[in-house]
Amino acid sequence: MLDVVIVGAGPTGLWLAGELRLGGASVTILEARRNPDPNSKALTIHPRTVEIFDCRGVVEPFLKESLSIPNGHFGALPDRMDFSALDTPHPYTLALPQMRTEELLEERALAAGATILRDRKVVGLTSDGVELEDRTVVKARYVVGCDGVNSIVRQAAGIDFPGTESTTWGYLADVVLDEPPASGVAQIAGPTGGVMIVPLPGGIHRLVGSDPFDNRPERPTLETLRATVRRIAGSDFGMRDPVWLSRFGNATRQAASYRKGNVLVAGDAAHMHFPTGGVGMNVGIQDAHNLGWKLAAVATGRATADLLDTYHAERHPVGAELLQHTRAQTALMTAYSPEGQALRAVLSGLIATAPDMSKQLAERLSGLSVAYATGPRVPDHTLADGSRLFHRLRAGQYVETPVGLVRPDGHPAQAAVS
Ligand SMILES: Cc1cc2nc3c(=O)[nH]c(=O)nc-3n(C[C@H](O)[C@H](O)[C@H](O)COP(=O)(O)OP(=O)(O)OC[C@H]3O[C@@H](n4cnc5c(N)ncnc54)[C@H](O)[C@@H]3O)c2cc1C
């Protein structure tokens, strides 16, 4: 019998598998897809996630392959928050297609000894594991649902997912642009809607935004998108040859409990929201970073099961704040009325002129301000033996520092698990 079976090989499940192996637990990921998803939802990797990769010694390819951006936006307001003053060795966001992020996380999980089985759709839970479509059972002491917003694990465990339905929809287009914006990037928002343009590898650009005149769940066509973008930006930038056209809604929900007995949920299986701010994948990886060392310690008999309750206690409030922030940003992005436009102008001006406000928003968005009862994550610093904390954390163990004992996930510890 396995220590842990993870359902879903998205970014959350892949990071969790690596963490569980680091903690000595046996783990298999069961993934429904035969092949990885070629369409990348996420592009943005925030500073705390970059730190987490650094704390496990896998940050280099991310730094090498990504576009580094020293600021971020809140609700597509024109004035952007400065990340360069954040107290971190990585004061920037990284832009990398989610598909590549997943490849790098998969490499790490496999190198650590995890097993990943594709074309294995889980249809339910059993008393000792999970059941696959072909009725075979994979036995494990613990099951973690990292299976996205429609999580079968969450549903089979009877974990409620309360929240609200979509009322607004954004559009997404990965296309070729014959006349891209001069700098390659653009962010335009006004009473007729919004569009953000960023370059992707392979000569493609991503256009993403909202349109009050075409606000519906159906997948857009190239023609409707041309009209949308022309209306908002005055040009369709010569868009052609779509690689991916999609819509996403603002349905907002959170799992009532992140743990039910031997079943846990993480990432999109635990929280869903409008993808403004580019944070969902980041929070999922950070859920996994909080859960991994705890579940490994419990599953291998080094800690009692009540340690797992701290996963819900610590991460559910972070998910609730994520939902509040993405709702606030959605309200700003879709504030098309004259009053809404005035609110956007006032807030944007404050971001530009009130350094405290800009810093607080940047700290929240970056994930650096997340604090549990024991405190916020301990920043990188030099230890008594001359080594750096982030390097010492690579072993996934507790680290003694001048400011006290630090847990494997980089937060202060109350007491070490033996
Ligand atoms: C347009 C858009 C842009 C976004 N941009 C960003 C961004 O810039 N930054 C950011 O942080 N986030 C962003 N997000 C959000 C991000 O993509 C998600 O939060 C992230 O994919 C969640 O990862 P996950 O591993 O929890 O779930 P998923 O990525 O959904 O992975 C779940 C996996 O489980 C598998 N699965 C599902 N059911 C089963 C089953 N029954 N059996 C076996 N396997 C199963 C699926 O096939 C899938 O591989 C964006 C989202 C959208 C829609």
Could you give the count of Cα atoms lying within 13 Å of 368 in the half-sphere of its Cβ? Answer: 24
Please report which confidence band the pLDDT of residue 413 belongs to, taking 50, 70 and 90 as the band edges: very high
Task: Give residue-wise pLDDT tens across range 150-162.
Answer: 999 999 999 999 9
Is the CB of 334 within 6 Å of ligand 1?
Answer: no
Residue written as token pair 């099951």: 143
Is the CB of 41 within 6 Å of ligand 1?
Answer: yes
> Which candidate, 182, 275, 176, places its Cα nearest to that of 233?
182
Is the CB of 51 within 6 Å of ligand 1?
Answer: no
Tell me how far the alpha carbon of residue 60 lies from the centroid of ligand 1, in angstroms: 23
Between 144-148, 344-348, 351-355, the lowest mean confidence (pLDDT) is in 351-355
Task: Give residue-wise pLDDT tens across range 24-45.
Answer: 999 999 999 999 999 999 999 9
Please report which confidence band the pLDDT of residue 2 belongs to, taking 50, 70 and 90 as the band edges: very high
Please report which confidence band the pLDDT of residue 417 belongs to, taking 50, 70 and 90 as the band edges: low
Tell me how far the alpha carbon of residue 10 lies from the centroid of ligand 1, in angstroms: 6
> Closest Cα to atom 31, ligand 1: which residue?
10
Residue 208 CA, closest ligand 1 atom number: 1
Q: 416 pLDDT exceeds 70?
A: no
Q: 143 pLDDT exceeds 90?
A: yes
Is the CB of 209 within 6 Å of ligand 1?
Answer: no
With 0-12 CB in 10 A as exposed, 13-18 as middle and 19+ as buried, what is 203? exposed
Tell me how far the alpha carbon of residue 415 lies from the centroid of ligand 1, in angstroms: 34
Task: Give residue-wise pLDDT tens across range 265-317.
Answer: 999 999 999 998 889 999 999 999 999 999 999 999 999 999 999 999 999 99
% of residues, the chain, pLDDT over 70:
99
* pTM attached to this predicted model: 0.97
Please report which confidence band the pLDDT of residue 165 belongs to, taking 50, 70 and 90 as the band edges: very high
| pLDDT score recorded for residue 184 | 83
Is the CB of 276 within 6 Å of ligand 1?
Answer: no
| pLDDT score recorded for residue 22 | 98
Is the CB of 275 within 6 Å of ligand 1?
Answer: yes
Residue 270 CA, closest ligand 1 atom number: 26
Q: 347 pLDDT exceeds 80?
A: yes
Residue 14 CA, closest ligand 1 atom number: 25
> Closest Cα to atom 15, ligand 1: which residue?
280
| pLDDT score recorded for residue 415 | 62
Is the CB of 9 within 6 Å of ligand 1?
Answer: yes
| pLDDT score recorded for residue 52 | 98
Residue 398: CB atoms within 10 A of its CB come to 18
Query: Which of 29, 44, 98, 250 gets mutated to test ligand 1 (max ligand atoms within 8 A of its CB)?
Result: 98
Structure tokens at 113: 């000894």
Phi, psi (rounded to 5 degrees) for 146: -115, 40
Task: Give residue-wise pLDDT tens across range 122-132.
Answer: 999 999 999 99
Please report which confidence band the pLDDT of residue 403 belongs to, taking 50, 70 and 90 as the band edges: confident
Is the CB of 145 within 6 Å of ligand 1?
Answer: no
Is the CB of 280 within 6 Å of ligand 1?
Answer: yes
**Can you tell me the mean pLDDT for 183-203?**
92
Is the CB of 28 within 6 Å of ligand 1?
Answer: no
Task: Give residue-wise pLDDT tens across range 208-262.
Answer: 999 999 999 999 999 999 999 999 999 999 999 999 999 999 999 999 999 999 9
Tell me how far the alpha carbon of residue 312 lies from the centroid of ligand 1, in angstroms: 20
Q: 137 pLDDT exceeds 90?
A: yes
> Which candidate, 126, 148, 145, 147, places its Cα nearest to that of 137?
126
